[in-house]
Amino acid sequence: MKKVFRTIFFLLIGLYVVINLFPSASETSTAPSESEVDDFDETDTIDQEVIVTHNRVWKDADASRRALRFSIGSSSDNSSFRYRDTVEVAEDGTEKTFWHNLYYDLYDHDRAYLAPLQDSLVSLARRNGIQKPELAYTAVTFIQDIPYNYILPYDSCSVHSDYPCVPLQRYGLLSPMEFLYSLSGDCDTRTVLLFALLKNMGYDPIIVNSAQYRHSMLAVDLPTQGDYFMHKGRKFYFWETTATGWMPGMLPPDMSNVDYWTIILDYEFEADPTRTY
């Protein structure tokens, strides 16, 4: 009997030690990691400028959860809007030249504004051990995860009911900063932003358009497999940017004729320094 009481005594002492030395689960709660935060936006006003902060969470190409916080001021958004709304695009009567010059104009005007987002992506890569080849995937999947919106040059959105619509936008697209401020973008709104962002980060992106498919897409020369075209001795793989799940080299089945795609803007293009537009 004494042995039984002794055993119970030591068990009670052990239980007391466990309870008092190790805090309960409710006492050890910590702030959520960035991968556990859901998408949300914040708006603040500083000296009459509206600052929008986007907190985005998405799945990277390897299914890892990424989180990114970035802020855009209304002055940058307004400057970008005014430029797009007033710029006169140099034309020679061809659709290719028109889009080539418009895309370059928007890229050239906004590329310096993208430095904070670029820095945030690079910091995210350092924290998560993402190397440069994979960082392109992180940037593209980040944009793919933003819901699609039609951006239309005319007033009526009634012909489109499958996605939200932003009417009355000159040229039927938004500039990179407008897209990041509003998170509203269609195909070429996204390709122009990604062209600028990837070019800033040292990649060689290309924008390709299809008049037949009425679509714009990115192309990159990352090591992968799938649908590609040759350009200056290198393979550039098509990359759909308007929805999640698309990897480089995956052409949508209803847009799979490679001959229907035309290079609109490549990474080596520089504007004529004598131009006045």
Tell me the pLDDT tens digit for each residue of 49-97.
899 999 999 999 999 999 999 999 999 999 999 999 999 998 889 999 9
Provide the pLDDT for residue 159. Answer: 82
Residue 197 has pLDDT above 50, yes or no: yes
- SS3 at position 24: coil
Contact criterion met (CB below 8 Å) for 176 and 196: yes
Rounded to 10°, the helix 187-200/115-128 angle is 70
pLDDT-wise least confident of 30-39, 85-94, 111-120, 188-197: 30-39
Question: For residue 179, which of 89, 52, 59, 45 has the smallest C-alpha distance?
Answer: 52
Q: Which CA distances in Å does 144 have to 9, 43, 132, 235, 277?
A: 63, 23, 19, 22, 31
Question: For residue 184, which of 218, 150, 230, 133 has the smallest C-alpha distance?
Answer: 150
Q: Which CA distances in Å does 60 have to 4, 48, 52, 65, 145?
A: 59, 36, 24, 6, 9
Rounded to 5°, the CA angle 259-260-262 comes to: 90
CB atoms within 10 A of CB 32: 10
pLDDT-wise least confident of 35-49, 104-118, 183-197: 35-49
Mean local confidence (pLDDT), 171-194: 97
Q: Is the dihedral of CA 210, 216, 222, 227 positive or negative?
A: negative
Residue-wise pLDDT tens digits, 205-239? 999 999 999 999 999 999 999 999 999 999 999 99
Say how far apart CA 249 and CA 229 lie, in whole Å: 10
Q: How high is the mean pLDDT of the chain?
A: 85
> Which tops the pLDDT comparison, 38 or 37?
38
Mean local confidence (pLDDT), 190-201: 97
Question: For residue 196, which of 111, 99, 271 has the smallest C-alpha distance?
Answer: 111
User: Is beta strand 49-59 parallel, antiparallel or unpaired with respect to 262-265?
Assistant: unpaired
Say how far apart CA 134 and CA 147 lie, in whole Å: 22
Rounded to 5°, the CA angle 186-73-193 comes to: 30
Provide the pLDDT for residue 2. Answer: 41
Please provide the DSSP assignment of 72-141 as one string: EEHHHHHHHHHHHHHPPPP--S-HHHHHHHHHHHHHHHHGGGGHHHHHHHHHHHHHHT--HHHHHHHHHH
DSSP letter assigned to residue 239: E
Q: Which CA distances in Å does 162 have to 16, 157, 191?
A: 62, 11, 21
Q: 177 pLDDT band (50/70/90 cuts)?
A: very high
Say how far apart CA 190 and CA 143 lie, in whole Å: 7
Mean local confidence (pLDDT), 97-102: 95
Say how far apart CA 15 and CA 275 lie, in whole Å: 82
Q: 274 pLDDT band (50/70/90 cuts)?
A: low
Rounded to 5°, the CA angle 68-83-93 comes to: 115
Q: 115 pLDDT band (50/70/90 cuts)?
A: very high
